[in-house]
Amino acid sequence: MKITAKLPHFHLLGAMFLLLFSMGAIAQNKDSIWFQGNYNKTEYRIPMRDGSLLWTVAYTPKDTSKTYPMLLMRTPYSCAPYGKDTFPSRVRYARMMREGYIFVQQDVRGRWMSEGEFVDVRPFNPDKKGTAFDEASDTYDTADWLLSHIRHHNGRIGVLGISYPGFYSTMATLANHPAIKAVSPQAPVTDWFIGDDFHHNGAFMLMDAFNFYSGFGQPRPKPTTVGPKGFDYKMADAYRFFQNVGPLKNIKTLYFGDSLKFWNDLMKHPNYDAFWKARNPRPHLKNTMPAVMTVGGFFDAEDCFGALRTYEALEKQNVQSHPNYLVMGPWFHGGWERSDGSSLGNVSFESKTAEYYRENIQLKFFEYYLKDKGTFDLPEASIFESGSNRWRRYQTWPPTESKATSFYLGEKQTIKISKPTTVTSFDEYVSDPAHPVPYTKDVQLNRNNEYMCDDQRFATRRPDVLVYQTDVLQEDLRVAGPVNVDLYVSTTGTDADFVVKLIDVFPDDAKNWKRSDVPMSGYQMLLRGEPMRGRFRKSFEQPIPFKPNEVTRISFQMPDVAHTFLKGHRLMVQVQSSWFPLVDINPQKFVNIYEADEKDFQKATHRIYHDKKHPSKIELGVIGK
């Protein structure tokens, strides 16, 4: 078992790495030296319509013989380094920097050096009047000011951002400023209850939420250049730390008190109510003006949902002629910008996919829409397909050529494409809240990126994990699109989580790749895993309990995949009821989990049915035969 310990930091949403710059290294690299030699830096306080001043930094090319488009990034993670004579030690977007852009960064309202009150995922207000504001109006006011005060621009503005700044990029599509011509929301925070970050299908993503808000959520009463301190766990084992915490309500008592406003909001809103719905921008993504390119990673543990569903909302709610593009690669959260994309953990993708994206997709997008340079000959969807390890071009996503195909769970741990004919058939397991299934075999403090494609053999060996797999594939199986889950279950309790994992099982003769200590022979590569909190099986707004021992249907959708199960591999599905401490523990008793006591947690026996009347299955979009 590998043991790793990292210094406490704010992992979720890409906190502590900046959109334009990464300040992780002390020594300057050649790009940062070139940047400082060829750009000027100016700091501004830009007034918003309500009078609040937002701290903004502009880096402008020293060559004033021509004009440049502006590239705006709005962030809650700081536009440091502060000071007109201080430049970043390491540079992001170096390729675009050398092509010539005016780079603008801004601390969003209420963060770091900007005035005003910060509101997490501030709701969009479509009926603003007078001095009323939201993130879209702050973007509009910023753009308007920049056009009047920055010299040597060409009148066009692009906006991009990753993760939380991806949300602010989405808001830029709603600003309706005529100068904003191209926007790229990348892994955008989109729906914090259904699929992004803090909840997946209503299940609370405990590890990430705690790690993030223990630092990010600390109050900032006045503008400052000094960030909050990270949380001291006093141990290097997250599994043991959260076991020691016990019920969720203990976190406030033991650690946070009333100091973290949004954490308290999380605890006060256990269902998909008006609080969460107001923070979902998708219903407003209509009649958008700029060209949009949404970017995401298939192995992004945080905002894969946001990327896919932002693109989907734009596609459905705008005219067909509106430029709307999707890029999905084999990347962790932000990996397309802070890695070369050639591998993740134990899995190789056989090429530098992130470098390809930066040079052949992202640069082309902004050069075309902000400079009228080149031809934008990219398809609507540029998708990297793992397994076969190649880029695919589609005119729609999901691709029209994919055919919905059912894979039925069956007796003796099998998966078949034909419906079961057995009259009565099920598997069962005991889920014990005192001994939850870990999400990784490693002992770690912080959730890593690599678990999204980690070997699942450790889970296969547990008695509280059900395992189903196909026979050895006689030909390649190519899948693209969402993963639909349809289970027939029963439980002896009144609530339960069901975690479903889609896995590619490598053949026994698979060769080791990079790490000789990780045998790829029989490797069980996680492709997609997603929890479903059973109480929400009918409605996220109005949860209902299970009736003990009564067969119940649970259907939900997992984020999309693009993968080829190669000939000689197997397709595997695992089903379990805990994924700790990634997901909080369900007491398996229908109570408000955020207020549950120790006595509310109970063992329960869960059954997965797979017979003629109850054909549990997953559905994949299959391309080809």
Question: Which DSSP helix (H) or strand (E) runs through 457?
Answer: helix 457-460
Mean pLDDT of the chain: 94
Residue 38 C-beta-side C-alpha neighbours within 13 Å: 15
Q: Are 387 and 510 in contact (CB under 8 A)?
A: no
**pLDDT value of residue 13:** 40
pLDDT at 522 over 50: yes
Relative to beta strand 203-204, strand 552-565 is unpaired
**pLDDT value of residue 382:** 98
pLDDT at 516 over 80: no
**pLDDT value of residue 519:** 86
User: pLDDT-derived band of residue 12, with 50, 70 and 90 as boundaries?
Assistant: very low
Q: What dihedral angle (degrees, nearest 10) is formed by the CA atoms of 278, 284, 285, 290?
A: -110
Cα(603)–Cα(242) distance, rounded to whole angstroms?
18
pLDDT at 227 over 90: yes
339 closest CA partner among 297, 301, 302, 308: 297
User: Any bridge partners for residue 427, and if so which?
Assistant: 608
Q: Which residue has the higher pLDDT, 512 or 194?
A: 194
User: pLDDT-derived band of residue 104, with 50, 70 and 90 as boundaries?
Assistant: very high
| Segment 280-319, tens digit of pLDDT | 999 999 999 999 999 999 999 999 999 999 999 999 999 9
Q: Which two tokens stand for residue 82?
A: 């502060």
Share of the chain above pLDDT 90, in %: 91
User: pLDDT-derived band of residue 9, with 50, 70 and 90 as boundaries?
Assistant: very low
**pLDDT value of residue 91:** 85
**410 DSSP assignment:** E
Q: Which residue has the higher pLDDT, 10 or 174?
A: 174
Average pLDDT on 250-269 reads: 96
Q: Are 410 and 416 in contact (CB under 8 A)?
A: yes
User: pLDDT-derived band of residue 14, with 50, 70 and 90 as boundaries?
Assistant: very low
| Segment 132-162, tens digit of pLDDT | 999 999 999 999 999 999 999 999 999 999 9
User: pLDDT-derived band of residue 92, with 50, 70 and 90 as boundaries?
Assistant: confident
pLDDT at 561 over 50: yes
Query: Distance from first CA to last CA of the chain, Å, rounded?
Result: 40
Cα(419)–Cα(609) distance, rounded to whole angstroms?
13
User: pLDDT-derived band of residue 606, with 50, 70 and 90 as boundaries?
Assistant: very high
**pLDDT value of residue 105:** 98
Q: Are 438 and 464 in contact (CB under 8 A)?
A: no
pLDDT at 11 over 90: no
| Segment 476-489, tens digit of pLDDT | 999 999 999 999 99
Using left for φ > 0, alpha for ψ between -120 and 50, and beta otherwise, residue 359 falls in alpha
pLDDT at 511 over 90: no
Cα(537)–Cα(79) distance, rounded to whole angstroms?
42
Residue 30: CB atoms within 10 Å: 9
Residue 73 C-beta-side C-alpha neighbours within 13 Å: 28
Cα(48)–Cα(26) distance, rounded to whole angstroms?
35
Q: Which two tokens stand for residue 67?
A: 């004009």
**pLDDT value of residue 185:** 98
Average pLDDT on 20-33 reads: 56
Burial (CB count within 10 angstroms: exposed 0-12, middle 13-18, buried 19+), residue 463: exposed
Residue recorded with tokens 């996503």 = 397
| Segment 236-259, tens digit of pLDDT | 999 999 999 999 999 999 999 999
**pLDDT value of residue 320:** 85
Average pLDDT on 73-80 reads: 97
User: pLDDT-derived band of residue 90, with 50, 70 and 90 as boundaries?
Assistant: confident
Q: Are 187 and 306 in contact (CB under 8 A)?
A: yes
Burial (CB count within 10 angstroms: exposed 0-12, middle 13-18, buried 19+), residue 232: exposed
Average pLDDT on 359-376 reads: 96
Residue 290: CB atoms within 10 Å: 24
User: pLDDT-derived band of residue 602, with 50, 70 and 90 as boundaries?
Assistant: very high
pLDDT at 79 over 60: yes
pLDDT at 520 over 60: yes
Domains of the chain with bracketed CATH: 12-190+281-394 (3.40.50.1820), 402-623 (2.60.120.260)
User: pLDDT-derived band of residue 89, with 50, 70 and 90 as boundaries?
Assistant: confident
Residue 599: CB atoms within 10 Å: 9
User: Any bridge partners for residue 504, and if so which?
Assistant: 525, 571
pLDDT at 500 over 50: yes
Cα(527)–Cα(298) distance, rounded to whole angstroms?
8
45 closest CA partner among 88, 71, 19, 84: 84
Integer angstrom CA distances of residue 348 from 17, 184, 421:
25, 27, 40
Outline where 196-303 has alpha helix (H): 206-216, 238-245, 249-251, 261-268, 274-277
User: pLDDT-derived band of residue 422, with 50, 70 and 90 as boundaries?
Assistant: very high
User: pLDDT-derived band of residue 29, with 50, 70 and 90 as boundaries?
Assistant: confident
pLDDT at 18 over 70: no
Cα(170)–Cα(8) distance, rounded to whole angstroms?
30
Cα(303)–Cα(193) distance, rounded to whole angstroms?
12
Average pLDDT on 83-93 reads: 89
Q: Which residue has the higher pLDDT, 425 or 30?
A: 425
**Phi then psi dihedrals of residue 451, to 5 deg:** -60, -20
User: pLDDT-derived band of residue 625, with 50, 70 and 90 as boundaries?
Assistant: low
User: pLDDT-derived band of residue 21, with 50, 70 and 90 as boundaries?
Assistant: very low
Share of the chain above pLDDT 70, in %: 95
**pLDDT value of residue 375:** 87
Q: What is the DSSP string of 305-370?
A: HHHHHHHHHHHHHS-TTS-EEEEEES--TTHHHHS--SEETTEE-SS-HHHHHIIIIIHHHHHHHH
